[in-house]
Amino acid sequence: MNDVYDKIKAIRIAKGLTQIEVSEKIGMAQSNYGRLEKGLTQVTIERLEQLAEVFGISVGNILNYEGETPIDKADVVYLRNEVLRLQRKVDKLNKDIEEADNEATHDFTRDREEKDRLKSEIKSLKEKLAIQKERLEEKDRTIKLLENTINALTKSSNT
Name the residue ranges covered by the structural domains of the chain: 4-69, 71-159
Position 70 scores a pLDDT of 55
The whole-number pLDDT of residue 76 equals 73
User: Can you tell me the distance from the alpha carbon of 68 to that of 6, in angstroms, rounded to the nearest whole number?
Assistant: 13
Q: What is the mean pLDDT of residues 52-56?
A: 91
The pLDDT value recorded for residue 2 is: 55
- What per-residue confidence (pLDDT) applies to 78? 72
When computed from its CA atoms, the radius of gyration of the chain, rounded to whole angstroms, is 42
Contact 19, 33 (CB under 8 A): yes
Percent of the chain with pLDDT over 70: 93
Average pLDDT, stretch 56-84? 78
pLDDT higher than 70, residue 71: no
- Mean pLDDT (the chain, rounded): 88
Alpha-carbon span 56 to 78, nearest angstrom: 8
What's the confidence (pLDDT) of residue 112?
A: 86
pLDDT value at position 67? Answer: 78
Q: Do residues 10 and 1 make contact, with C-beta atoms less than 8 angstroms apart?
A: yes
- To the question of pTM greater than 0.75 for the whole model, the response is no
Kindly report, residue by residue over 81-108, the tens digit of the pLDDT: 888 888 999 999 999 888 888 887 878 8
- pLDDT tens digits, 115-150: 889 999 999 999 999 999 999 999 989 999 999 999
- pLDDT (tens digit, 9 = 90+) per residue, 8-48? 999 999 888 999 999 999 999 999 999 999 999 999 999 99
pLDDT band at 156 (very low <50, low <70, confident <90, very high): confident
Q: Are 30 and 38 in contact (CB under 8 A)?
A: no
What superfamily in CATH does domain 4-69 come from?
Answer: lambda repressor-like DNA-binding domains (1.10.260.40)
Residue 45 to residue 25: CA distance in whole angstroms: 16
